[in-house]
Amino acid sequence: MTQWWRFSGPAKVSRRDLALFTRSLARLIEAGLPLADAVRLAADAPGGALALLAEDLCTEIRAGASLAQALERRDPAAQPVFGPVYRALVSAAEAGGVLGQSLNRLADYTERADQLSQSVRSALVYPALLLGAALVSLLVLLVFVVPQFESLFAGLGREVPLFTRIILGGAGLLRSYGWIVLAAGLAALFYLRHQMRGAAFRKAMQARLMGLSYIGPVIMKIILERMARSLSELLRNKVALPEALALAAPVSGDNQFRDGLIQAGLRVREGQSLSDALAQQQMFPELMLQLVRVGEEGSAMAEMLAHLADIYAMDAEAAARRLIVLLEPVLVLLIGGVMAVVIIGLIGAITGINDLVIR
């Protein structure tokens, strides 16, 4: 089994599995277990690719490496499981001798990120089910119902209206070449799933979605929540602000915000305050600038960034729900319109038959 995992390439580890591993590792370390044994046992709960990676981490730790060094050496560069923020937090925790306590906070951080992602995805379940049910109903109508009318119209010896002929022709093509449409759809689905594994494709897709009126604000709030949450955790673990900004920049997943945070970090190194450095980038919202300024004045930057992340998480969930409320009637009208077109075409032809019979 181990060899199969290795040759099949790096498998994706979910945030939920990572949070479970981190929480278990924290408790095992606090219970006094040796680090290598704690890593191995903590990875048994989620299992899968994480358990395989834990074997490599244990090898490094038994050879004398710290957990941060083991993560740096063994975390896959092409598809990192832990990422730079996780590794930096572990490194700072080991340096401060508070690894167990910091891992508990790191598990909280990972769980919050997973909860936001799951909330947005859950909001999309009903529209997806609605669209799927409508497509199945339309296929049943075209493949099984329309052919019954086709045999009826063929026995009349008269030409049916053009609109009805178009519907009958479309149904005939679907019955004859539907397998090609199905194969093309499955191929497109597998291709899209393969492309989504690439960071470049995901960033390009995200950039396109950011330009949409209703979807863009939701994505922006999710990006800002990630950045604020990551910065807060890094600062709580005593990571210096310029280094924290550099580490949190890639977490956003957006090139524009990543570059903006990197530029802000460079200005902070030159002696500017974080609020002024962010304001000069002209891309961060006023709420973020105000709360960062309050955090600077009260020497509570980490707490204020955590509060900001909570605000953006709630806003993102609320915005996603509003988007779904707008999307549902649009889908209903669109689906109803397509079904109505097919039914009206058939009813029009039947009405013509009745007129012939009456005459």
pLDDT digits (tens, 9 = 90+) for 55-76: 888 988 998 888 888 888 888 7
Q: Could you tell me if 100 and 156 lie in one domain? A: no
Helices 215-236, 241-248: axis angle to 10 degrees equals 140
Note down the domain range covering 338: 124-359
Q: Could you tell me if 212 and 327 lie in one domain? A: yes
Residue 278 belongs to domain with CATH number: 1.20.81.30
pLDDT digits (tens, 9 = 90+) for 80-136: 788 888 888 888 888 777 788 888 888 888 888 777 777 777 777 777 787 788 788
Question: Given 65, 86, 110, which residue is the final one in a domain?
Answer: 110
Identify the residue with better confidence: 308 or 85. 308
Side-chain half-sphere CA neighbours of 153 within 13 A = 22
Q: Could you tell me if 184 and 43 lie in one domain? A: no
Question: Given 110, 139, 164, which residue is the final one in a domain?
Answer: 110
Residues of the chain with pLDDT > 90: what percent?
2
Dihedral (CA of 161, 167, 168, 173) sign: positive
User: For residue 117, is it within any domain?
Assistant: no
Residue type, 273: S
Count of structural domains within the chain = 2
Q: Could you tell me if 22 and 134 lie in one domain? A: no
Q: Could you tell me if 21 and 162 lie in one domain? A: no
Cα(178)–Cα(189) distance, integer angstroms? 16
User: Looking at residue 160, what DSSP letter applies?
Assistant: P
Question: Given 86, 110, 134, which residue is the final one in a domain?
Answer: 110
Q: Could you tell me if 270 and 333 lie in one domain? A: yes
pLDDT digits (tens, 9 = 90+) for 168-208: 777 777 777 777 877 888 888 888 777 766 666 766 776 67
